[in-house]
Amino acid sequence: MGRKEEILDKVRQIAAPLAAQEGLELIDAEIGGGGGRQILRLFIDKAGGVSLDDCTAVSRAVSTALDVEDPIEGAYDLEVSSPGLDRPLKTPEHFQKFLGSKVRVRTFGPLPDCENRRTFLGILQRYENGTIAIDVDGKTFRVPHALVSKANVEPIFE
């Protein structure tokens, strides 16, 4: 695990219970940016959606805790928002919640058992025993969750 992932793991450990106290779920955390100043982004969600007040409450609580724990070296900006229409899918619970939805799943490399594909765009059928089943144009592919680099819900605009 690299330094960046260690920092993000620590941030998640701090932020998840604080979000839960507000009735929210921490979906993901990212760190990036440039120009000498890092940006720490937290994505939160709850049934019915996230309000500006939710983002503000989590931002204040997490900011205070991060000031005490200080896992990030140097200056950074904290951004808290909803995961958006293309929300990431990280945990088994996320995949279960979005069964029947259109999803995009990317793997770390080509999968020999899946026609050497790396990207799968289709309907999420099942999540069982650490395997994601996706219907891509009528063909079902089974992708091991451990090999997924990124997965998200694909917005459908009609």
Q: Where are the domains of the chain?
A: 3-81, 92-153
Architecture of the domain defined by 3-81: 2-Layer Sandwich (3.30)
| Strand ranges for 20-87 from DSSP E | 25-34, 37-45, 76-81
- State residue 3's pLDDT score: 84
- Three-state SS at 23: coil
CATH number of 92-153: 2.30.30.100
Q: Give the pLDDT score at 74.
A: 80
pLDDT given for residue 34 in this prediction: 66
pTM: 0.81
The confidence score (pLDDT) of residue 1 equals: 64
Task: Sheet with 148-153: list strands edge to edge.
Answer: 139-144, 131-136, 117-128, 102-111, 148-153
* pLDDT at res. 73: 82
Averaged pLDDT, groups of 10, the chain, 158 residues long = 85 95 94 82 93 96 92 88 92 94 96 92 96 96 96 89
